[in-house]
Chains A and B, each alone.
Chain A
Amino acid sequence: MKDERTLVEGCRNKDRIAQRTLYERFAGRMFAVCQRYTRSRYEAEDVLQEAFVKVFTQIHTFRYDCPLEAWIKRIMINTAISYLRKEKAYLDQADVDDYADAVSEGETTLSGMEYQQLLGMVRELPAGCQSVFNLYAIEGYQHNEIAQMLGISEGTSKSQYARAKQLLQAKILETNNTNSS
């Protein structure tokens, strides 16, 4: 923890070595975060670069009231969301009526799946669904929080999530069936 504090102080003083150390410590995990919010590796790189610039220029606002990683991750997510907003990725924010029409749980285990396969599935989700799924399932935000972050209604958030879940379960089923047959 003391080490982290030294690192943050170094970054505040615009010390390039400290900045690079911090980057190298978190870049891998943060790149994975960027990957699942975007549709291509190219987009993910853009977001990662933009977000790290923000991290270093805003480091003076970090108050040590949460783990550094959580703070950085939040910046990654916010940057990704505004990036997607710029790219008009929220145009297909239609309400989904068949909410909670879930597929049975037992057959949708991820045990046999590779990370890259899962990432591919998330990236194939419709743009609106993808962000809501990430925020709700992976990050653990509540629907009212997600609604606020994305500027959509809570109902839309819920329906988008339901659709995402449905689509993913269908894909997993399909993959599992292909693997077993």
Chain B
Amino acid sequence: MGSRSVRKNKEFVHQLNPTINMASSEEHTFENEWRRRFDEASETPPLAMWERIEARLDEEEEERVLVIPFWQRTQSLRWAAAAAVTALLLTLGGWWFQSNLSEPPSKTATVVAPREKTTATTTNELTQKSQEGEKIQNDSKLASGAIKENHNETEAKHPLSRSSAETTAATAVVRKEAKKAGQTPAAALVASVSKKATSSKVNTSTSPENQLSASTPSNGRGGAKTEINVTHESETLSTTIASSEVALAASPMEPNTAPEMTLAFLEGKKMRELLGNPKRQPWVAPPSQPTEALKPKLLPKEYWASVGVMPASYNAGVEIGGRGALAAASNTPLYSSQATFNNSARTPTATNRSALSYAFQWQGGVQLSQRWSLESGVNYLQGNSIYQGVNAFSTLSNSYINSLETAINLSDNNIPRYDFATIGSDKSLVQTLSTSQDISNSYQFLQVPIQTGYALIKPKRKFSLWLLGGLINNIFLKNTFQTGQDNTVTVTGNDSPYRRLSFSATTGMRLQYKINKRWTTLLSGNYQRSVGSTTRAGAVFQARPQLMGVGAGVRYGF
């Protein structure tokens, strides 16, 4: 190109012109004449041209940096995202309240009983533990069987006329409990809304009678503190908290079910601020000049529908134990003994192995701008996992029972608990054999994802690359697992230990190749992690599934 350009440069041509004119024929005159007239030509471009070029250069440079200036993009989208999250949290909160308020009052007994046990185990030496065994067993019996009696007994253990020193000690235990359950400590002393909610809740479950008779001067210390904090709140908030407290007091909840609760409280006040925090700056973003030309072009919204299949690696993340409610059940020697020789493998990662799973995906979405999309749909997930459990022989049922089976049976409302209490009360009935068993454990979920996509590579040409993130509503359908006898058992229905609805956070990347105007092929990588346990609050085991998958699909644009 260079030499050619030099040759054709005007000076060069002009130097040659005399010789050309003299030597060659007239056929060059036509070209030379035109060339001379156009070579020197100059026209003034419009004044705004430079601004247009500069704006384009800014845009190009911004793309090259490849930052995700999430907080600085269009205002409307930011509010749309905030609104979507708020709506989701409201649904979540509403569902949580509904499902928990309708729980039977027997929860009180199951919550309080473990606390008594914990106090006992922390204050006594291991040698004393055996002496206490009988009492604990009795407690457990009461917890699982005679609910009303237990409740009375608990009340008796929480006298209103307790000395202040004792109450402080009790508060300390509560705090410890809350910590153990992964919660914010019972912070009747801290002035944060969510913490206060937790603390009042904990207090409620510790001694419900205190809360109910909060106006009487003979209050326990913890209850009084909560009251003071509530009155210090702003008017509107105090009303909210007070009303929810009444609800809580009417039907006390367990401290370990608080994550959603905390979120729901946060949402009302802080979430909007959190999302739209104007001070948040992406650290690599170049300082952009606010010119009009910089405003992103708004394209007409494009709708699409897609189908896909995703082979995945699914880990059920089952962990037996670790929750307050478990203690009641763990008093049974069957569970205790299993827990003893299962201790080395109590972390969920060590006891679960993922197995090949798959998901079918039907999704739809709308492309809001060149960068953003909003997507939803329905997935059917078949999640297979292996739980490395323990197999034990029960002389009562004359059969082998494995640890997962026991945990599920203990948590299942459909199975009468006294069976297990009976088993538990008589150690001789259970012969523990230290055999481990790989238990096949599979789940079926219907998933409703709500996610947003951000184009890392804009869909200008054939290829585009998207970053995805959002929430998945998991609707529990079925759990199938192997029993100690190598049979399979199916757990389903509303009374199963599993929550009907649980949530997962999801993130992923998707590569898109546009075949033609309508059809696009999709290749995606996806990671999902359950937010909290998929089991109910009262279950003696937890499941926190994780999923990693690579999917393929096709999309049709409307």
B-binding residues in A (CB < 8 A)? 14, 16, 19-20, 23-24, 27-29, 31-32, 35-36, 45, 48-49, 52-53, 56-57, 63, 65-67, 70-71, 73-74, 105, 108-110, 113, 115, 118-119, 136-141, 145, 165, 169
Q: Is B35 within 8 A of A138, CB to CB?
A: yes
The 8 closest A-B pairs by CB, nearest first: A28-B42, A70-B5, A32-B41, A140-B8, A66-B2, A65-B2, A137-B31, A31-B45
With A48-B45, A70-B6, A137-B35 already in contact, 7 other A-B pairs whose C-beta atoms are closer than 8 Å: A45-B49, A48-B49, A65-B2, A70-B2, A108-B30, A140-B8, A145-B4
Known: A31-B42, A110-B33. A105 touches B26 (CB 8 A): yes
Q: For A52, give its contact among B33, B43, B53, B61 (CB under 8 Å).
A: B53
User: Majority SS of interface residues in chain B?
Assistant: helix
* Chain A proximity of B16: nearest CB distance (Å): 11
Does B38 make an interface contact (CB < 8 A)?
yes
Contacts of B164 in A (CB 8 A): none
B235 is an interface residue with CB less than 8 A from chain A: no
B135 at interface, CB cutoff 8 A: no
B283 contacts the other chain (CB 8 A): no
* Contact of A57 (CB < 8 Å), options: B6, B34, B60: B60
How many B residues touch the partner, as a band? 35 or more
Quick check: A45 and B4 within 8 Å, CB to CB?
no
Please tell me if the beta carbons of B34 and A137 are within 8 angstroms of each other in the complex: yes
Q: Assuming A53-B56, A105-B26, A108-B30, is B41 touching A29 (CB within 8 A)?
A: yes
CA of A57 to CA of B42 in the docked complex: distance in angstroms?
24
**Which of B39, B43, B53 counts the most chain A CB atoms within 10 A?**
B43
Q: How far is the CB of B47 from chain A (nearest CB, A)?
A: 11
Cβ contact within 8 Å between A45 and B45: yes
Once the chains bind, are B41 and A67 in contact (CB under 8 Å)? no
Specify which chain B residues have a CB less than 8 angstroms from the CB of A36 in the assembled complex. 38
B37 within 8 A of A: yes
Assembled-state Cα–Cα distance A139/B46 (Å): 25
CB distance B5 to A74 under 8 Å?
Answer: yes
CB distance from B76 to the nearest CB of A (A): 28
Contact A105 B53 (CB under 8 A): no
Tell me, rounded to whole Å, the shortest Cβ–Cβ distance linking A47 to chain B.
Answer: 11
- A selection of 17 A-B contacts at a CB cut-off of 8 Å is A28-B43, A48-B45, A49-B49, A49-B52, A53-B53, A56-B57, A105-B29, A110-B34, A115-B37, A118-B34, A118-B37, A118-B38, A137-B31, A137-B35, A138-B34, A138-B35, A145-B4
List the A side residues contacting B46 at CB < 8 Å. 45
Query: Once bound together, how far apart are the Cα atoms of A74 and B2, in whole Å?
Result: 10
In angstroms, how far is the closest chain A Cβ from the Cβ of B284? 15
**Bound form: Cα–Cα A105–B53 in Å:** 43
Contact with A along B5-34 (1 / 0, CB 8 A): 111110001000000000000100111011
Are the CB atoms of A23 and B50 closer together than 8 Å? yes
Q: Contacts of B53 on A, CB cut-off 8 Å?
A: 23, 49, 52-53, 56
Residues of B within 8 A of A137 (CB): 30-31, 34-35
A19 contacts B43, CB within 8 Å?
no
Interface residues of B (CB under 8 A from A): 1-9, 13, 26, 29-31, 33-35, 37-39, 41-46, 49-50, 52-54, 56-57, 60-61
CB distance from A35 to the nearest CB of B (A): 6
Closest residue of chain A to B60, judged by CB?
A57
Contact of B39 among A45, A138, A165 (CB under 8 A): A138
Supposing A27-B49, A32-B42 touch, asked if A165 and B57 sit within 8 A by C-beta, the answer is no
Measured between beta carbons, the chain B residues less than 8 angstroms from A19 are: 54, 57
Could you tell me the distance between the alpha carbons of A110 and B212 in the complex, rounded to whole angstroms? 105
Q: B29 to chain A: which residues have CB within 8 Å? A: 105
* A118 to B33 alpha-carbon distance, docked (Å): 11
A150 CB, min distance to chain B CBs, angstroms: 16
CB distance from B59 to the nearest CB of A (A): 9
In the assembly, what is the distance between CA of A63 and CA of B5, in Å? 13
In the bound complex, what is the Cα–Cα distance between A70 and B6 (angstroms)? 8
How long is the Cα–Cα vector from A55 to B284 in the complex, in angstroms?
25
Q: Which residues of A contact B57 (CB under 8 A)?
A: 14, 19, 53, 56-57
In the complex, the answer to whether A27 meets B30 with C-beta atoms within 8 Å is no
Instruction: Identify which of B30, B34, B45, B60 contacts A53 (C-beta below 8 A).
Output: B60
Which of B7, B42, B53 has the most A CB atoms < 10 Å from its CB?
Answer: B53
The answer to whether A27 touches B38, judged by C-beta atoms less than 8 angstroms apart, is: no
Nearest-CB distance from A85 to chain B (Å)? 16
The residue in chain A whose Cβ has the minimal distance to the Cβ of B38 is: A138
A77 smallest CB distance to B (angstroms): 10
**A134 to B175 alpha-carbon distance, docked (Å):** 85
A18-B243 Cα distance, complex, nearest whole Å: 66
Query: A16 CA to B43 CA in the complex, in Å?
Result: 23
Tell me the nearest residue of chain B to A46, going by C-beta.
B52
In the complex, what distance in Å separates the CA atom of A151 from the CA atom of B347? 67
Min C-beta distance of B256 to chain A, whole Å: 56
**Which A residues are CB-close (under 8 A) to B13?**
140
A14: nearest residue on chain B (CB-CB)?
A: B61
| Complexed CA–CA distance, A108 and B30 (Å) | 8
Contacts of B1 in A (CB 8 A): 66, 74
Chain B contacts of A31 at CB under 8 A? 42-45
Chain A residues with CB under 8 A of B30: 105, 108, 137, 165, 169
- Assuming the contacts A105-B26, A138-B39, A140-B8, asked whether A20 and B50 have C-beta atoms less than 8 A apart, the reply is yes
- Interfacial chain B residues near A67, Cβ < 8 Å: 5-6, 9
Least CB distance, B403 to chain A, in whole angstroms: 64
Query: A110-B33, A137-B34, A138-B38 given as contacts; is B43 within 8 A of A35 (CB)?
Result: yes
A71 and B5 contacting across the interface, CB-CB below 8 Å = yes
A169 to chain B: closest residue by CB: B30
- The residue in chain A whose Cβ has the minimal distance to the Cβ of B34 is A137
Q: How far is the CB of B26 from chain A (nearest CB, A)?
A: 5
Closest CB in chain B relative to A36 CB, distance in Å: 6
